[in-house]
């Protein structure tokens, strides 16, 4: 395998907090996103993704302060998504410190927005998120509003279209697998990866190290996002006072419980495992390459 595989923590954000749910719902507060971002940067993340998971629902994007805090302390690419509806929205988060943006709802409602954004900011800046749900007949369809709203758009045809419109990457999320620990949807990712020439980032479902290897070797993903596996590991190392969190479901933080669906693991351990298995990636964020 000749390409470097990127390992990207995905931080879902609601209000001021990092949250995590199952199937993109039932969100529990895990901490402050900037604390996790700093920790992941220091531990070798290749990039970070910030996703405002309720932005489209409430017709807003409110991550500017969090982006600004994060961009002052990390020096790896930061992608921001959720509620970006106009060129000015994109320009605003890039000015705040983001390096890339992720579009979903606005792109599906107005596909020409992808073309306009990539023309103005460059294809490498524009990622299109596809939230996929498998239907009873085996087909995959795209959803918006964090997996809440059916669009009637078939995933493979949409992936080809967004490539043609100038998107630089696709963030492909299996809503069915999100937060379950059951593993990535290899069929979904392989089908899209083989149909497009732009990088595909696999998202949703890893629960153990083997899941990460398989989505790369069998699903042909160019990058992977990881959330629960690394978040629940990071919580053990980051000290939080649950009294500081004034909103959201904080019962998990207050209880101090482990989350047993996942083999929690650090970023360095993920990369060491992948390298041992013959997957090429960067062992640290100074971009030293190990085969």
Is 46 catalytic? The answer is: no
Catalytic residue among 12, 34, 47, 185: 12
Is 131 catalytic? The answer is: yes
* Contact (CB, 8 A) for 101 and 81: yes
Catalytic residue among 47, 52, 131, 163: 131
By annotation, the residues acting in catalysis are 12, 131
């Amino acid at each position: 395998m000749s390409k470097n595989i990127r390992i990207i923590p995905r931080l879902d954000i609601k209000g001021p907090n990092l949250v995590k749910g199952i199937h993109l719902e039932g969100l529990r507060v895990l901490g402050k996103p900037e604390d996790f971002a700093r920790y992941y940067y220091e531990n070798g993340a290749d990039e970070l993704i910030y996703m405002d998971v309720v932005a489209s629902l409430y017709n807003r994007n409110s991550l500017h302060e969090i982006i600004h805090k994060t961009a002052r302390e990390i020096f790896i690419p930061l992608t921001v998504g959720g509620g970006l509806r106009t060129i000015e929205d994109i320009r605003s988060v890039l000015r705040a410190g983001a390096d890339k943006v992720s579009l979903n709802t606005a792109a599906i409602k107005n596909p020409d927005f992808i073309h306009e954004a990539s023309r103005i900011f460059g294809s490498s800046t524009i990622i299109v998120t596809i939230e996929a749900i498998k239907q009873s007949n085996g087909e995959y369809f795209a959803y918006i509003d964090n997996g809440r709203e059916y669009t009637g758009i078939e995933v493979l045809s949409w992936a080809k279209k967004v490539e043609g419109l100038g998107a630089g990457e696709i963030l492909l999320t299996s809503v069915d697998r999100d937060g379950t620990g059951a593993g990535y949807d290899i069929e979904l990712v392989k089908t899209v990866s083989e149909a497009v020439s732009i990088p595909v980032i696999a998202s949703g479902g890893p629960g153990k190290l083997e899941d990460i290897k398989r989505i790369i070797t069998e699903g042909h993903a160019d990058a992977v996002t990881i959330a629960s596996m690394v978040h629940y590991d990071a919580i053990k190392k980051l000290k939080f006072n649950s009294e500081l969190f004034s909103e959201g479901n904080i019962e998990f933080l207050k209880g101090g419980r482990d989350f047993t669906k996942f083999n929690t693991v650090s970023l360095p351990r993920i990369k060491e495992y992948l390298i041992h298995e013959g997957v090429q990636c960067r062992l640290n964020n100074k971009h030293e390459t190990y085969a």
